[in-house]
Structure formats: structure tokens, C-alpha cells
Amino acid sequence: MESLASLLLAAGKGTRMKSGLIKVLHPIAGVPMISWPVAAARDAGSTTNVLVVGHQATAVQSVFRGAADIRCAMQEEQLGTGHAVACGLDALEGFHGTVLILCGDTPLLRSETLQALLAFHREQRAVLTVLTALLDNPFGYGRVIRDQAGSVARIVEQKDATPDEEAVCEVNSGIYCMEVDFLRGGIRQIGNDNAQGEYYLTDLVGIAARQGLTCLALPTADAEEIMGVNDRVQLAEAARILRRRINQRHMLAGVTFIDPETTYIDEGVTIGADSVLHPGCQIGGATIIGSGCEIEQNVTITSCRIGNDCHIKAASVLEASELADDVAVGPMAHLRPGTVLGTHVKIGNFVETKKITMGKGSKASHLTYLGDAEIGSNVNIGCGTITCNYDGVNKHRTLIGDDVFIGSDVQLVAPVSVGRNSLVAAGTTVTSNVPPDSLALSRVPQLNKEGWRLKKR
């Protein structure tokens, strides 16, 4: 296989985003914008990927921490796309082969399109091939100027274009394939004598053409793909398109969406076949959902692992939790991080959990807080039960054995344990450990004063 590397230009601040965060770090469908073109380059077979970074460089680097194929090249001052590529080339010393040049702000570019560009470039033995698009409104983009024979002669930027050139509708996507040997030589010939006083990468096209080298332009079939994100309107538009692609992928893999337009699934989520997603759900953070699950309306799931045949009812929020098969949650339940539920567990409405394990078949059906607890299997937690896990300074654990029955309105003042097969009577405040097979009861004896209301009148 011929060797392939990529340069991704991501040094700019992205002024039009009006943000403290640089443009390429804004999330789209759950991942930073820059991850999208990096994924496209990787999928096209690029094994060395150089990010040209400037503003917030360490934050950009940390997105790819530990990735062996990623290198970063610093561009201290943003003197133009040509200068950015020159900086990036320093990180490709000793590399021979083809370089893909991409922008950090084109998240809609598909790897299939890059592969087609690459195949065309190699077939034609070109030194430079630029991906172009035919736009009804080309304003803002560089225009591709061809000679009488139809060969690409040069690219002219919007701000440098004559009225005749402005009328050209074929635009530069900012995405290129180049032979690195040509690139290394050509980049040194670029000047900055233009309307913006910048080093334009696009000047390479004219340089190649003047030397009689093969320099080509390949119009893309789908102009949508080259859309650059420059402001938050375009950010939302790109996100909508990416979400639609993600949802289609899941649907084709056997997942039912009641209304795909209002279902928000981030990149990196896995969902098994025959699962059903209702409107308004949001699923993110590399969540894995098994097959045959039903996720009802307005459920939010982040970083969870959910087994098969689970039923998550309306308006529940699940964070960093693990559910085995056949678990039912909600409606309106809140599983906070560290919740681990065994098979056939049932968590009902208005139940909040945090850092707990619950064994097979256990239930907490209504209005309960369970935090820092280890709960066995086949346990019934009555309505209104509270683990009093926090004394104002430290958190303490509650242990509940298998087959325990906790009645309604019980407070478990941690640290405390309830031995297996015990029963805690309704209304009890448990302050000391309960041995196995026992009844625990703590109630103030009831006093009835007969006729009391009649005398008051």
C-alpha cells in the first residue's frame, strides 16, 4: 500500500463563533468538531495525521491524547493556510507519499469522498488534486479558474477576485491531495502579496500549473460535504446533518426511531437491533444499549452500559450506570454515576440512586433515595425509603442482604447493615445493624384520645 498522511489545519481561533472556545473544539453530535475530519482521514487510510495547532493548542492535543497516529505542529502566528501547511510539513520529515490536506472546520466531509479523491489523484498521477464543488452562491469561497482547455490554472480568493472571476461557480473546498515532494518545493515559492497579506495555500495550484505538472480538480457529487462551519448557525446546521446520518446508520442496523428528527444520538453510541427509541431521547457518551430495549420519550442517557430487553420509561435520566438484562427504570427516575443493577431489577418513579449495586430481582418502586449502598438480590425497598448516607462531613455505606423486605418510609442511617432475610417494619429509623432473619421495628407507640376533636369545637 502507498503511504498516506494528512495535515489538518486547526490553528485559527474561529472569530465568528464569538466564543471563548476555539472553533474546532465545539462539540458536534457529542464529539469535538476536529474529530470528524480526523476520523475521515483515518478511514481513508491515513496513518500519520498532523494537526496544525495554534490557539488553545494543548486543549486540541488533549482530544487525541494517547493516539499514536496523531502529531501536532505548532503555528504560533496565523499567517495563512500556506504558512500553516509549511508548519505542518515540519512534522512530516522523512515522509514519502501522498498528503491529504483538510480543514478542522469541515465536519461533514465523508471518508468515501476522500477515497474517491485519492483514487482519482493516483490514477491520473497528479501532483495536486483539489476537491471542488459547484455552488449556486459561491460567495466567500476561493474560485477555481480553468484555462480554455478546461485544465485548472489557479485558484483566486474572494477578496482578490475580479468580477469575471467572481462569476465562476466552481469553488475550492479547501480539501486537497498532494504529493509531498511537490508540496515541499512548492510551499517555499508562496508569497503573501495579496488582498489579505496572507500566505495562501491555494497559490500552489498556479505554481503546479505553471511548471506543467498535473494539477487537477475533482468536483464533489454532494456540495453539502464541503460546508465549513464558521458561525453557530452553521454549527447547528452541520449538527443536524450529522445526527441524521447517525440515526440512519442505526435504523439500517435494525433500531426503530419513532421520530428520528427529534432523537439525539451522539457519535460513538452503540444500540442493538430491535430496540425502540421514542421522541426526545438524548443518548451520548459512548453508551452501549443492548437489543430489544425500549427507551421512552425524553429519556437522557450518558455513558451507560445497558443490557438486552431493558425498559427505560419516560423522562428518566441515567448517568454512568450499568444495567443487566430485563431491567425496568422510571418513569422519572434518576440513576446517578456508579449505579449497577442486576437482571430483572425494577426502579420506579421518583427514585434516585447513586453508587449502589442492586442484585437480581430487587425492586425500589417509588419515591426513594438509595446512595452508597450494596443491596442483595430479591430485596424489596418500600416507598419513601431513604439511605441517610451523609453526616455533613463523610459519606457512609448501607448494606442490605438478600431477600430483605424494607417497609415504606424507612430511614437507614449509615453506616448500617440489614442481614439477609430480615424485615424492617414501615416507618422504622434503622440506626443499628439488623441481624439476619429478624424483624426491626422502631416506632413511637400510638396514642388515641377519643372524642378529642369534639371537645375542641
Q: Which residues are known to be catalytic?
A: 366
* Helical (H) or strand (E) element with 288: strand 288-289
Q: What's the gap between Cα 150 and its chain centre?
A: 42
Enter the C-alpha cell of residue 153. 490554472
Residue 81 contacts ligand UD1 per CB under 6 A: yes
Q: Omega into 32 within 30° of 0, i.e. cis?
A: no
Enter the C-alpha cell of residue 83. 504558512
> Minimal distance in Å, beta carbon 226 to ligand UD1?
7
Residue 178 contacts ligand UD1 per CB under 6 A: no
Which 264-293 residues touch ligand UD1, going by CB under 6 A? Answer: none
**Binding string, 109-148, against ligand UD1, x = CB under 6 A?**
--------------------------------xx------
From the list 76-84, 179-187, 279-287, 337-345, the region that binds ligand UD1 by CB under 6 A is 76-84
70 interface partner picked from ligand UD1, Ca ion, none, CB below 5 to 8 A per type: none
- Which whole-number Å values give the CA distances from 275 to 53, 263, 269, in the listed order? 41, 14, 13
Which 216-275 residues touch Ca ion, going by CB under 5 A? Answer: 228
> Minimal distance in Å, beta carbon 84 to ligand UD1?
4
From the list 29-37, 172-180, 207-215, 275-283, the region that binds ligand UD1 by CB under 6 A is 172-180
186 interface partner picked from ligand UD1, Ca ion, none, CB below 5 to 8 A per type: none
Residue 83 contacts ligand UD1 per CB under 6 A: yes
Residue 80 contacts Ca ion per CB under 5 A: no
**Binding string, 189-218, against ligand UD1, x = CB under 6 A?**
-----------xxx----------------
Q: How many residues bind ligand UD1 (CB under 6 A)?
A: 27
Residue 84 contacts ligand UD1 per CB under 6 A: yes
Position 286, amino acid: A
Pairing of strands 423-424, 405-406: parallel
Q: What is the CA radius of gyration of the chain?
A: 31
With residues binned 3-state (H G I as helix, E B as strand, rest as coil), the percentages for the chain, rounded to 5, are: 25, 30, 45
| Separation of alpha carbons 92 and 144, rounded Å | 28
- Residue linked to cell 504529493: 179
Residue 52 contacts ligand UD1 per CB under 6 A: yes
Enter the C-alpha cell of residue 449. 384520645
CA 224, 228, 230, 231 torsion: positive or negative?
A: positive
**Binding string, 397-416, against ligand UD1, x = CB under 6 A?**
--------------------
Helix axes 35-43, 111-123, angle to 10 degrees: 50
> Minimal distance in Å, beta carbon 79 to ligand UD1?
5
- Which whole-number Å values give the CA distances from 212 to 18, 142, 202, in the listed order? 43, 22, 17
Residue 56 contacts ligand UD1 per CB under 6 A: no
- Which whole-number Å values give the CA distances from 159 to 140, 162, 165, 403, in the listed order? 8, 9, 11, 76
From the list 4-12, 28-36, 278-286, 287-295, the region that binds ligand UD1 by CB under 6 A is 4-12
| Separation of alpha carbons 339 and 335, rounded Å | 6
The residue (of 46 and 81) whose beta carbon lies closer to ligand UD1 is: 81
Q: How many residues bind Ca ion (CB under 5 A)?
A: 1
> Minimal distance in Å, beta carbon 95 to ligand UD1?
19
| Separation of alpha carbons 437 and 416, rounded Å | 16
> Minimal distance in Å, beta carbon 231 to ligand UD1?
12
- Which whole-number Å values give the CA distances from 271 to 91, 167, 252, in the listed order? 39, 48, 12
Grouping H, G, I as helix, E, B as strand and the rest as coil, residue 420 is coil
Residue 225 contacts ligand UD1 per CB under 6 A: no
The residue (of 142 and 382) whose beta carbon lies closer to ligand UD1 is: 142
> Minimal distance in Å, beta carbon 118 to ligand UD1?
19
| Separation of alpha carbons 289 and 312, rounded Å | 11
Residue nearest to ligand UD1 (CB): 142
Query: What does DSSP assign to residue 81?
Result: H
Enter the C-alpha cell of residue 118. 485519492
CA 245, 247, 251, 257 torsion: positive or negative?
A: negative
Which 273-312 residues touch Ca ion, going by CB under 5 A? Answer: none
Residue 330 contacts ligand UD1 per CB under 6 A: no
Residues near ligand UD1 (CB under 6 A) are: 9-12, 52, 75, 78-81, 83-84, 103-105, 141-142, 155, 157, 171-174, 200-202, 228
Residues near Ca ion (CB under 5 A) are: 228
